Structure 1
Amino acid sequence: MTSPILVEHDGPVLRITWNRPERLNAFTTEMLDLTAETVESAGKDSGIRVVVLTGAGRAFSAGADLGGELPGTGTIDAANRLTLALRQVPQPVLAAVNGPAVGVGCSLALAADIIVARESAYFLLAFARVGLMPDGGATALVPAAVGRARAARMAMLADRVPAPRAEEWGLITRAVPDDAFDAEAARLTSELAQGPTAAFAQTKRALNAAVLGHLENALAIEREGQAQLFTTADFAEGVAAFRDKRHPDFSGK
């Protein structure tokens, strides 16, 4: 059986590749937990100086997998565990966004320290389309980067944000032409791996305190809200519409 994540050690670089390209790297609970466990272990390994996240195939991640077993609070817990791991490991985390970053896939991309994306990639908080609220820390991560109005636009209107606009807004670090993406991701990885590791760790700690001190509270609120929304008729309708490839007819219940 093919592993849902690929883990490569290249000297001081730990590269994690989500490996369900046939499902656009949509997440299962197991996949999120495996990734979190890998990141947490990396945080204890002084030989690792940078962690890289990317996706196999043409997507970074399509978010939670709505085509199989529906996500529940266990999925939320696994996503929250991974978001906290990405923020708490001392090493810088680079998200190499090779394609669409949707739903919790968007949340996890934004939990990285440095985010480089193909110009053809986009960022989308698609939760409202299936009757849910953002999770994975998006309610803290997005407004910290782009402000409340743009965060509400992404969360409530499910506006797709192309990578060049995401860079302009300050949502990501850099959008690069598709044909230059691999080289730029490699350059940034090398720069981080050769940089002042201890200084990066203290910088990350200070930035967490300055702009993400409320992240754990946001994760708890998201979990509580999402648990309630999982029981609604709108969520059932949203999933049915997603599977039928039609527009949902929400009742507000």
Structure 2
Amino acid sequence: MGSEATLSEPPLRQSQSGGVRTLTLNRPHRRNALTLELWGALHDALRAAAHDPAVRALVLTGAGGAFCSGADVVDSDPYAAPFPKLRAVTEVAQQLHELSVPTVAKVRGVAVGAGWNLALGCDLVVATPDATFSEIFSRRGLSLDCGGSWLLPKLVGVQQAKRLALLGETIDAAQAHALGLVTWIESAEEIDGFVDEIAARLAAGPPIALAQIKALINEGADRTMREALAGESRAQAVAFATADVPEAYAAFGQKRPPSFTGEWNVRRPDSRT
């Protein structure tokens, strides 16, 4: 009866607390393995988050003690044309990368294959000590997907990226943290509160400035210094045109926390008839 109830639930749960939206992969009976239905639900949820001004930060996690065990090979047909699935994978990875709000992956248990790359596609990764990670593709006769070939070398360098991808070995949270693939390790008892605090801090930040910081860093690895400086100048000009800058200055002078809104602060010239 319990498993029937689980199977009847949506493959992706969504919740909102303040400015933080949480997306929970919800196939615990399969350790949240990814199906076309779940990819589609992620696509729709990320698109909705991108267009909802109430979303100031996003948390991605998994139900039932696992983050995501990758593609569901049990429910997949190895002889089916791969293009619909690959299109879904590509679109979700691109949406997650380009989402303007900060994203946090909360990882318990396994994060494997595309599941791990979904976590790496987030801006910050928090894991429990028992979390395990694997770019398992080569052990399945497959190559990387969900952005892994772009993310890994930028995060750990070419040689370590090749090690992880070619061998498909499993590493633990401590190893992932040492490589820079996990931002923080928190105990199973404390990870929820820790992620809530981090996400709330991000949601309270200046939304326009944070969006531009994220974009500049994402793009910076592929730019020359001259291009990066030009991009920073454009982004800073936009930031100065928001109400958040004078609000930050006023809050500093008044010794209070700032209240950021991201509102535009360009005044129209006085109209004279």
TM-score calculated relative to the size of structure 1: 0.81
1:113-132 deviation digits (Å, cap 9, x = unpaired)? 01111111021100111100
Instruction: Give the letter aligned to residue 111 of structure 1.
Output: G
* Structure number with bigger Rg: 2
Q: Which residue of 2 aligns with 1:109?
A: 119
Distance 2:175 2:210 in 1: 27
Distance 1:194 1:78 in 2: 32
Instruction: Give the letter aligned to residue 58 of structure 2.
Output: V
Q: Mapping of 1:72-221 within 5 angstroms?
A: 72-211=82-221
Q: What is the alpha-carbon root mean square deviation over aligned residues? A: 1.4
Distance 1:174 1:192 in 2: 16
Q: Mapping of 1:52-71 within 5 angstroms?
A: 52-70=59-77
Distance 1:64 1:97 in 2: 17
TM-score calculated relative to the size of structure 2: 0.75
Q: Which residue of 2 aligns with 1:51?
A: 58
Distance 2:180 2:140 in 1: 27
Residue among 39, 43, 68 paired with 1:36: 43
Distance 2:106 2:134 in 1: 16
Q: Which residue of 2 aligns with 1:22?
A: 29
Distance 1:58 1:67 in 2: 20
1:128-176 deviation digits (Å, cap 9, x = unpaired)? 1110011101001011100111111111101212112111111121122
**Helix, strand or coil for the counterpart of 1:179?**
coil
Distance 2:222 2:91 in 1: 15
Tell me how many residue pairs correspond in the alignment. 213
Distance 2:155 2:52 in 1: 29
Measured after TM superposition, the shift of residue 189 of structure 1 is 1.3
Instruction: Give the letter aligned to residue 77 of structure 2.
Output: L
Measured after TM superposition, the shift of residue 3 of structure 1 is 0.4
Measured after TM superposition, the shift of residue 208 of structure 1 is 1.7
1:158-216 deviation digits (Å, cap 9, x = unpaired)? 12121121111111211222222122111111111112221110011111211368xxx
Q: Which residue of 2 aligns with 1:244?
A: none
- Structure 1 unaligned spans of 5+: 214-253
Checking the alignment, whether the CA contact within 8 Å between 1:141 and 1:212 is kept in structure 2 is: no
Within the alignment, does 1:7 sit opposite 2:14 as a pair? yes
Measured after TM superposition, the shift of residue 14 of structure 1 is 0.9
**Helix, strand or coil for the counterpart of 1:208?**
helix
1:60-100 deviation digits (Å, cap 9, x = unpaired)? 00000001123622222111111111111110111111221
Identity %, equivalent residues:
35
Distance 2:218 2:77 in 1: 32
Decide whether aligned partners of structure 1 residues 70 and 207 sit closer, same or farther in structure 2, where only a CA change above 3 A counts: farther
Distance 1:211 1:108 in 2: 20
Q: Mapping of 1:230-249 within 5 angstroms?
A: none
Instruction: Give the letter aligned to residue 86 of structure 1.
Output: L
Q: Which residue of 2 aligns with 1:242?
A: none
Distance 1:11 1:70 in 2: 41
Checking the alignment, whether the CA contact within 8 Å between 1:33 and 1:81 is kept in structure 2 is: no
Distance 2:168 2:147 in 1: 16
Q: Which residue of 2 aligns with 1:218?
A: none
Q: Which residue of 2 aligns with 1:248?
A: none
